[in-house]
Each structure stands twice: as structure tokens, then as C-alpha cells.
Amino acid sequence: MRIDHGSGSGSARTRPLIRDPSAARTIGLVALTVAALLGSAYALGRSLVPEPPTSRSNVTTSATGPHYADQPPADDAPRRTPTGDPGTAPASDPGTAPTEAGQDGGAGPDGAPQPGPADGPFGTQTTSGTSLVALTFDDGPDPQFTPQVLALLRAYQVRATFCVVGENAQRHPDLVRAIASDGHTLCNHSWNHDVTLGRRSPAAIRTDLLRTSDAIRAAVPDAPITYYRQPGGAWTGQVVSVAQELGMTPLHWTVDPSDWERPGAGRIAATVVAGVVPGSVVLLHDAGGDRQGTVDALHRILPDLTSRFEVEALPDGVT
């Protein structure tokens, strides 16, 4: 800086070192350039971080095996609603299944489903068709959770319907035999829980469903497989038609506690207990992720429902 001595004052005054405006602008441009370069480097680093691996069937794997129900549907697949599962259309859409008993679409004036159960998406079955309440368990069998579910059902003398994934049936034929020996109904749930299966060709859908049924019958040769449930509830006319051609009833549901989201045993139990009416089909999971919350919820669900309803497996041989 330069020091000017004022006359008669004896004091020193300072002046700025940079007096040229063009120099100040140059320094500002340099600072902006450095900031831009730093931002570009950060973005490049983010782009180099790999995304978690996914598969065409929307199934992820871990050290404990495939996880199905925890996974959201593909971007172009039907989305799960707050009260329903993937594939449950808005209430104003044609072919919509009720997400809770007592809503439009098959519920009578007393809140119980009407006798005709084929009122779900694309004519799928959503109720038992009678006053019976049906518990259904998807995505298994699983060596950790399926035996716990079977033990609880046995303790309360309840038979249920198990929607079995083909690759899991192939891995755990002993559990398929345990399900069948306890008198539960078996349901085809596709080979590897492909939520996009319904958009494939009829020939591809047929191959998938037959492969799954073959895996089930490899464990239980004479097992009747009367029902098919589409993964994620992502029904299409094609998958419904193929299932029916193979002698299986397309099975949807009435009550969904969204246990796949692991909301906790208390919330799962409260949703089921409050939502069930005569004829309800309840969607639960014994595999596809951590299902301990569902198992724990059964300690409340089973005594409550059996005290108010007849809880039974969906009948074999009825289409």
C-alpha cells in the first residue's frame, strides 16, 4: 500500500493496493472457474459409484438368498397404494379389486364380500366366495420363517394357502412337503417372482408357470395346484388367460397389511384384525425378506380371527 502524509495532521492514511477494476474482475473469474472445476470433479466421482445390481425379475440377492417382496415394482409396473399391493388400481379404474372389505367391488350391504369372488383385476378372485376367511402366505418356502408359520398354524389348527415361488420350491422340497402334509393348499407364484411376467408372451408365461408347478410336484408328486398369484399383483389379461388355461384360478386378495414393508408386528396385526370380514382373503408373506414381524403378528392374528371366523385354506379343485 502507499502512505500519504497529510499536511499538518501528523496521521497516516491507507489506500487500497488494487485500484484497477479490471484486476478485480480477473480474480473473480478465476474463483468461479475453480468452483466449477471442483463441482465437475464431484459429479464425476458420483457417476463412478456403481448402482446396486438388479435383475430382469426385479429380485435382489444377499447372503441369505433371494429377496422378493421387499423390492418395489419396476418403474413401468403398477404401483402399490397405501391400502393395497402392487397392481391394485385406483378405485375409479375398471376392474379394480377392493383393497379392504366393505369397499365397492364385491362387498355386500353388511360389509361381507358377495358370493361371486372373481371381482379383482382382470377377473381375478379376491374373496373365498363363502364366509370362510383365508390366510395366504407368499414368496416361500423359506427355511427360517416358513417352519415358524407352520408351527403357529398347527397350534391354532388353521390351514392356509401358500403361494410358492418355483426356485424356492426347488431349493427346499422338504418345506413344500411339510406344507402339503399339514393340509395347506399350494398356489403357483411363478418361477422367480418376476413382476413383469404378465407382459411377456403367452408362451413365455406358460413355460414359467409350468416350470414352477413341476418344481412343486417334484416335492409332492400328486399335489393339486389350483391357484396362481401374479408377483406384485401386476395382473394382465395374458397372465390371467394362461393361468386359467392351465387349470389355475388367478388369486388376488382382500386385505393387505403391507407386511412386505416391515411396519412391525403390531401394525400388521392391527390391520388384519380390523380389516377382515367373512370371505376375506388376507395377503401375508413367509419369505422374500425378513418376515419375523409377520410371524410375531400371527400370535395376535390367529387367536383373534379364529374366535370370530372360520379360518380355512382355499379349497383345492375349485376353479
For every residue of the chain, DSSP letters joined together read --EEE-TTT--EEE--S---HHHHHHHHHHHHHHHHHHHHHHHHHHHTSPPPP--TT--EEETTEEE-TTSPPPTTSPPPPTTS-TT---TTSTTPPPSSTTSTTTB-TTSSBPS----SGGG-B-B-SSS-BEEEEEEE--TTTHHHHHHHHHHTT---EEEE-HHHHHH-HHHHHHHHHTTPEEEE--SS--TTGGGS-HHHHHHHHHHHHHHHHHHSTT--EEEE--GGG---HHHHHHHHHTT-EEB--SB---GGG---HHHHHHHHHHH--TTBEEEEESSSS--HHHHHHHHHHHHHHHHHS-B-PPPTT--
Give the strand order in the sheet containing 225-228.
Answer: 249-250, 225-228, 185-188, 161-164, 134-140, 281-285
Cell numbers found for residue 15: 489506500
Residues marked as catalytic = 138, 285
Q: Considering only CA atoms, which of 70, 211, 209, 67 is closest in space to residue 140?
A: 67
